[in-house]
Structure 1
Amino acid sequence: MPLTRLSVPDHLSAQQVRGLADAVHDALVECCDVPQGDRFQLVSRFERDHLILDPNFGDVQRTADACVIEITFLSGHTDAQKRRLYRDLAARAAGIGLAQDDLVVGLVENGAIDWSLGNGRAYIDK
Structure 2
Amino acid sequence: MPLLKFHMQKGRSHAEIELLLDVAHKAMLSAFNVPVRDRYQLVFEHEPTHLRALDTGLGFERSQKFVLVEVVSRPRQRAEKLAFYQGLAMELEKCCGVPSSDVMVSFVENSDEDWSFGEGTAQFVTGQL
Alignment-mate amino acid for residue 48 of structure 2: R
**Length, aligned pairs only:** 124
Change (3 A) 1:36 1:4: same
Q: Deviations over 1:26-79 (max 9, x none)?
A: 11100111211100111111111111111x32512211211110011122x211
Q: How does 1:54-93 map to 2 (within 5 A)?
A: 54=54, 56-59=55-58, 60-75=60-75, 77-93=76-92
Alignment-mate amino acid for residue 39 of structure 1: R
Indicate the residue corresponding to 2:25 in structure 1.
25
Instruction: Give me the whole-angstrom Cα distance separating, in 1, the residues matched to 2:9 and 2:17.
Output: 9
Shift in Å, 1:13: 2.0
Alignment-mate amino acid for residue 94 of structure 1: E
Q: Deviations over 1:85-123 (max 9, x none)?
A: 100011111121111111110112222111011111112
Indicate the residue corresponding to 1:106 in structure 2.
106
Alpha-carbon RMSD across the aligned residues, in angstroms, is: 1.3
Runs of 4+ aligned structure 1 residues displaced above 3 Å come to none
- Report if aligned partners of 1:8, 1:17 keep a CA contact under 8 Å in 2: no
Instruction: Give me the whole-angstrom Cα distance separating, in 1, the residues matched to 2:62 and 2:116.
Output: 36
Percent of residue pairs identical: 31
Structure 2: unaligned runs, 5 residues or longer: none
